[in-house]
Amino acid sequence: MSGDNAGINLTDTFPKLLAHNALTLCDRVSIREKAFGIWQSWTWSEVAEEVRMLACGLKSLGINDGDKVIICGDNRPRLYWSMTAVQAMGCIPVPVYQDSVAEEMQYIYEHAEARFSIVEDQEQVDKVLEIKEKLPALEHVVYDDPRGLRNYNQPFLHSFQDVQELGRKHNSENPGLYDDSVASKSGDDTCIMLYTSGTTGRPKGVMLSHNSIIITARNASNMDGLTDEDSILAYLPMAWVGDNLFSVGQAYTTGICINCPESSETVLEDLREVGPSYFFAPPRIFENILTTATIRIEDSAKFKQRMFHYFMGVAKRVGIDILDGNRVAFIDRLLYSLGDLLVYGPLKNVLGLSNIKLAYTGGVAIGPDIFVFYRSLGLNLKQLYGSTEACVFISMQRNGEVRPDTSGKAAPDVDIKIADNGEVMFRGPGTFQGYFKNEEATRETKTDDGWVLTGDAGFLDDDNDLHIIDRAKDVGKLTNNDMFAPNFIENKLKFFPQIREAVTFGDGRDYVASFINIDLESVANWAERKNLAYSGYTDLAGQESVAELIKDCVEKVNADLAVDENLRSSQIKRFLILHKELDADDGELTRTRKVRRNVITERYSELINALYSDASHCEIEAQVTFEDGRSGTIRADLQIRDAKVIGSNQSVAAE
């Protein structure tokens, strides 16, 4: 990238990049949003104008250099523009998960000392109003969608348009203000603050610089050959680092076109309409898509089912080799092309994945079967390993070197090493600046020479591919001193479509035991075909035959674990099926759906005790939070079951 001009870098911050793109990519589409059933587009030069007016409007409301601005809502063009506008005024945007409840938000508002907040709609405004009294620092709230807000006449509430109108006036009165403000910042300044959901304790504000995001984004685009012809669907939360890298970082540095879905319920339909060429989804989404497709195949005519299974067999045999460019027999190539015409092509089309050039998954391990399924369809799905503290990319798989069980090699310019205790450490351009107002945590995580501890245990294999085992602090020991890696086992369980969530226990115990959440969609469909009657989640989860189904899965996992010398004693001896889904609203999962072990251990201690006793059932009362914020209790009597364990390891055979 050329941009150096007499020592001043013209593309080292996002507002500067925007000005640059408005000149070089002026009439190319920067962002689209579906409104009133039609995709509306804005070109780069239009975006630059919108951002300038908003920035000047915020200035005339009194925003000062260094202020933190909370941004909260679904992926909307105006909220993306808000981030750049805030940065242009020398301030720091703080995107917040839009489904957080008011108390969770209050902590972030207080901790970030936010004076301004820009939110999407009435729902978010209501949440702010609920906590406004307790936030003396908060002065102005700007909203994007005015629907339902006409009777809100609080003086600190402003519509997006009104602020831009103020900005238009302010801009004409102070013509040089915007450009001067943009020029005064450089790549080392803080670009954004992201609160990590944190499986333990309060969220921490990760500060990232413009350079970190811009360089990481550019490296990733270059490595995968992305260009301004590519497009992406921006549907993952704006408060998540990935969205900032893909939908902001790579969009600004590479010119990728962003598409905002109409609403969170229409994402799959919008995916089909947009047909993006670049796609990121956590494994859960790939699993869901596959589950839905499988269910529909099972409901289809016999002939179609046979055709599907035959060609999926062909794809499994040769698909990946074709994708990787290896030698494949002519007849197989021919069969694969026929399969593409009859099965793979239509399937990808229905899923909205026809145009995909590149897809990534990460966050948690993806089931090898699922991973291979997509790749054999000819979809270039790759895995990456990353964290907020690294601006996403720590390691990523290269084309032609994709294996289901690794997270790939170190990302460009990133160094990876393994600490003595097995913890993965990295150093690179994306390294965060520090945790906001938390020197202590920063020092614990980041060494003086720039290495960052990820908190994940892993190892590098002979090809220098990174394997992640588990959260380092979660790895424990059974009483016989064998290693116990809960996540590793849970992931194996979750690879079964019938199991949505699992929590395993074993640290300091004689054997491994597990809580299991069934996957309602998948198990309900199975129950329907078996003619099983049930009234709801709790009833279905408590059925005898469902328990047998799950027991089957657990025993398959046990068989898998028994093969490995180190993991043999980690076989699951006892398990129970929970009567309710673990939920972020109840504090049992983080907003990114990671299990909060301490909360679960505390809340379900009776159940855990029962798992480590002879009891065959246990009664439990659980607090649940309903969608509308009220809470209630569910009472249930849960059956505890033994699963068959394989092998004659002593701790298991002791029984």
Binding site for another protein (CB under 8 A): 35-38, 147-148, 150-151, 262-263, 265-266, 269, 627-628
Output the smallest distance, CB 268 to another protein, in A.
9
Output the smallest distance, CB 413 to another protein, in A.
42
Task: For Cα atoms 211, 57, 204, give the angle at the middle one, nearest 5 degrees.
Answer: 45
At 615, give phi and psi (nearest 5°). Answer: -55, 145
Output the smallest distance, CB 293 to another protein, in A.
19
Output the smallest distance, CB 145 to another protein, in A.
10
Q: Which is nearer to another protein, 116 or 143 (CB)?
A: 143
Q: Kindly state the tokens that stand for 245.
A: 């890298």
Q: Which is nearer to another protein, 46 or 269 (CB)?
A: 269
Q: Which is nearer to another protein, 273 or 606 (CB)?
A: 273
SS3 518: strand
Q: Which is nearer to another protein, 245 or 351 (CB)?
A: 351
Q: Which of 450, 398, 400, 459 is nearest to 426 (CA)?
A: 450
Q: Which is nearer to another protein, 253 or 525 (CB)?
A: 525
Beta carbons within 8 Å of 640's beta carbon, 6+ residues apart: 574, 575, 576, 610, 611, 615, 616, 617, 618
For strand 434-435 and strand 204-209, is the pairing parallel, antiparallel, or unpaired? antiparallel
At 451, give phi and psi (nearest 5°). Answer: -80, 140
Q: Which is nearer to another protein, 7 or 37 (CB)?
A: 37
Q: Which is nearer to another protein, 330 or 626 (CB)?
A: 626
Q: Which is nearer to another protein, 36 or 303 (CB)?
A: 36
Q: Which is nearer to another protein, 189 or 521 (CB)?
A: 521
Output the smallest distance, CB 266 to another protein, in A.
5
Output the smallest distance, CB 153 to another protein, in A.
11
Beta carbons within 8 Å of 585's beta carbon, 6+ residues apart: 101, 625
Output the smallest distance, CB 295 to another protein, in A.
16
- Alpha helices by DSSP H, listed for 366-475, are 368-376, 439-445
Q: Which is nearer to another protein, 224 or 270 (CB)?
A: 270
At 639, give phi and psi (nearest 5°). Answer: -85, 140
Q: Which is nearer to another protein, 38 or 654 (CB)?
A: 38
Output the smallest distance, CB 122 to another protein, in A.
10
- Quote the strand ranges of 546-630, DSSP E: 572-577, 617-625
Q: Which residues of 453-482 are buried (b: 16+ CB within 10 A; e: fewer)?
A: bbebbbebeeeebbbbbbbbebbeebeeeb
Output the smallest distance, CB 79 to another protein, in A.
18
Collect contacts of 551-559 with beta carbons under 8 A, ≥24 apart.
Answer: 551/575, 551/641, 551/643, 553/493, 553/496, 553/498, 553/499, 554/493, 554/514, 554/516, 554/643, 555/643, 555/644, 556/496, 557/489, 557/492, 557/493, 558/643, 558/644, 558/645, 558/646, 559/646
Round to whole Å and give the CA distance between 637 and 620. 6
Q: Which is nearer to another protein, 40 or 300 (CB)?
A: 40
Q: Which helix (H) or strand (E) holds 211?
A: helix 210-224
Beta carbons within 8 Å of 317's beta carbon, 6+ residues apart: 332
Output the smallest distance, CB 150 to another protein, in A.
7
- Quote the strand ranges of 547-611, DSSP E: 572-577
Output the smallest distance, CB 253 to another protein, in A.
32
Output the smallest distance, CB 32 to another protein, in A.
15
In the sheet that 572-577 helps form, which strands lie side by side, from edge to edge?
499-505, 512-518, 572-577, 631-642, 617-625
Round to whole Å and give the CA distance between 651 and 637. 29
Round to whole Å and give the CA distance between 238 and 222. 23
